[in-house]
Amino acid sequence: MSLVIIGTIAYDAIETPFGKTDKIVGGAATFAGLAAAYLYDQVKLVGVVGDDFGDENLNVLKSRGISLDGVQVKKGEKTFFWSGRYHNDMNSRDTLATELNVLADFDPIVPDSYQDCQYLLLGNLTPQVQLTTLSRLRHKPKLVVLDTMNFWMDTAWDDLMQVLSSVDVLTINDAEARQLSGEYGLVKAAEKILQLGPKYLIIKKGEHGALLFGDGRIFSAPALPLTDVYDPTGAGDTFAGGFIGYLAKVGTLTFHNMKNAVIFGSALASFCVEKFGTERLKELDSALISERLSRFTELTKFDIED
Amino acid sequence: MSLVIIGTIAYDAIETPFGKTDKIVGGAATFAGLAAAYLYDQVKLVGVVGDDFGDENLNVLKSRGISLDGVQVKKGEKTFFWSGRYHNDMNSRDTLATELNVLADFDPIVPDSYQDCQYLLLGNLTPQVQLTTLSRLRHKPKLVVLDTMNFWMDTAWDDLMQVLSSVDVLTINDAEARQLSGEYGLVKAAEKILQLGPKYLIIKKGEHGALLFGDGRIFSAPALPLTDVYDPTGAGDTFAGGFIGYLAKVGTLTFHNMKNAVIFGSALASFCVEKFGTERLKELDSALISERLSRFTELTKFDIED
């Protein structure tokens, strides 16, 4: 049994009010894989990099027990590069550069060693590549989680609808939920989106937490109020990795476990934003994660004897 | 022992995407009083209306056991009138008209029958009138809660600072917390605001819930995800009334009780927005409120055995 994660593996250059980075390691699969690997020990990535992507960077992932058998290294090509600048509110950003490079003609490889996949995270990437990955698994996984973004709603609607119809859980942000459904109110938006295929929908609201919809129920998770958010890049990917990593660990797909998975995802995402890129995410351990989970409990727990 | 609430008693005319009203009853003291009276039986209002404010409207309050000994009815004058139009997002609005009328020279009366006040809500109104009310209580109440708004930050800063230094709890929205503190991040904003006097700060985030800061701790309460929000007018006042009404009922000012008070305030506010004006708030009972509180528990409860 394993958890397979497909997504970008990238170089990012980031500017926030707190500083500016040169090319640092990023990408949806990187963040999600690092997060998931804290919770589950059979994490396997599908992705592609150029030969400019240093072995030391791949070794960071390998050293956490993450399989890279499905990660292609393209000789003479360059790794996907994204550069962005966050505004003062840290909720909005401008893309300064997007160089697809190896992603332009990415044909995902799903090795035989990945065919034991029970949990699949289709991380943010073109829906066509997400569909291809799904089709190359010989057995339908127990759980498929899809993360996507507004860009694919603008440019690949039909493919997105197709992949949506094949997944169990969708994670998107509130603006994307409104765009996807054409509804402003999130309850109505969720009702419409759940008719497109997924059984569960998670709406990520950044500093306002996340909402889980499904089984006719709603769960509201807070975000941890943080003194400083250094870099929101990868928080959504980290959330998705933590979410599916927890479910892979516990193995039972009840609403109770889905709620806990949202809290684990939120806890890992709360670390992600504390430093640039994957820096903070690389230095965690189970004690730090447990302590952070306790803060989520303390933050939300109340007890009314009416 | 009693709970005294000062605030506007008003006529409102409201437009939302769901419809439009003629003059209907509104005002901070009205919403807060109606909410508090579901939780505590010694609620007393301080306010002023003109003789155009029908007896039937005052009787609605009286019939709930709310004392109006401190509500002046000015002969030949008109009640405060506010008119506003909400945008499609229901989070922003334009003020179409503000007619101060009786509020222009409002000198609050605090009758002898109110001098047993232990819980005081300084509802949204000019800080000068809030200060006068406080000074006319012969004994300092056990708990003073202040609700205010950006308008007073723009026009009455010094008075606002003075009243802030005399209260225990401040309730404002997130934009107001940013304006009051000059800090974008809400954790830093809260730290600064707690240095201005209040021991506790509640930041109301509308559809994103509320944050309670104090005792070096943070509590995050969700808002109930609603299919339709008909009219947000008075939701903040209702929240404040439910908050202080619960604390008056339980009588002990622990952080545990403050958290529950935030949930009670949020539950009552979730009713308020379901119909125009005070319509929904007038038709509740303890069974409906209990059921709504259960929904808040279901919405937030998780249980991680790590």
Q: Would an 8 Å CB–CB cutoff place B88 in contact with chain A? A: yes
When the pLDDT of each residue in chain A is averaged and rounded to a whole number, the result is 96
Residue with tokens 């769960």: A219
- Between chain A and chain B, the number of residue pairs with CB atoms below 8 A apart is 92
Q: Which residues of B touch A229 (CB under 8 A)?
A: 185
Instruction: Fill in the amino acid letter for A240.
Output: A
Dist CA A60 CA A27 (whole Å):
14
Instruction: Fill in the amino acid letter for A210.
Output: A
Q: Would an 8 Å CB–CB cutoff place A266 in contact with chain B? A: no
Tens digits of residue pLDDT in B63-107 = 999 999 999 999 999 999 999 999 877 778 899 999 999 999 999
**Residue of B211, B219, B225 lying closest to A187 (CB–CB):** B225
Element (H, E) at A201: strand A200-204
Q: Would an 8 Å CB–CB cutoff place A217 in contact with chain B? A: yes
Distance between start and end Cα atoms, chain A:
46
pLDDT value at position B306? 53
B217 and A293 within 8 Å at the Cβ level: the answer is no
Residue spans of alpha helices (H) in chain A: 28-37, 55-62, 127-135, 150-155, 157-164, 174-181, 186-194, 235-250, 255-272, 286-300
Q: Would an 8 Å CB–CB cutoff place A222 in contact with chain B? A: yes
Dist CA A248 CA A186 (whole Å):
28
| pLDDT band at residue A306 using 50, 70 and 90 as cut-offs | low
Closest chain A residue by Cα to residue B255: A302
Tens digits of residue pLDDT in A242-281 = 999 999 999 999 999 999 999 999 999 999 999 999 999 9
Tokens coding A41: 């020990």
Q: Which residues of A touch B217 (CB under 8 A)?
A: 298
Task: Give which of B218, B220, B306 to mutate to test A binding, by max A Cβ within 10 Å.
Answer: B220
Tens digits of residue pLDDT in B121-161 = 999 999 999 999 999 999 999 999 999 999 999 999 999 99
CATH number given to B2-300: 3.40.1190.20
Minimum mean pLDDT range among A27-36, A228-237, A297-306, B204-213: A297-306
Q: Would an 8 Å CB–CB cutoff place A155 in contact with chain B? A: no
Closest chain B residue by Cα to residue A191: B227
Give yes or no for residue A188 having a pLDDT over 70: yes
Tens digits of residue pLDDT in A250-260 = 999 999 999 99
Task: Work out the percent of chain B whose per-residue pLDDT is above 70.
Answer: 99
pLDDT value at position B90? 76
Minimum mean pLDDT range among A133-137, B110-114, B161-165, B181-185: B181-185
Dist CA A72 CA A49 (whole Å):
6
Task: Work out the percent of chain A whose per-residue pLDDT is above 70.
Answer: 99
A222 and B209 within 8 Å at the Cβ level: the answer is yes
Please state the rounded mean pLDDT for residues A213-232. 94
pLDDT value at position B17? 87
Q: Which residues of B touch A300 (CB under 8 A)?
A: 219-220, 300, 302
Give yes or no for residue A17 having a pLDDT over 90: no
Tokens coding B204: 């109301």
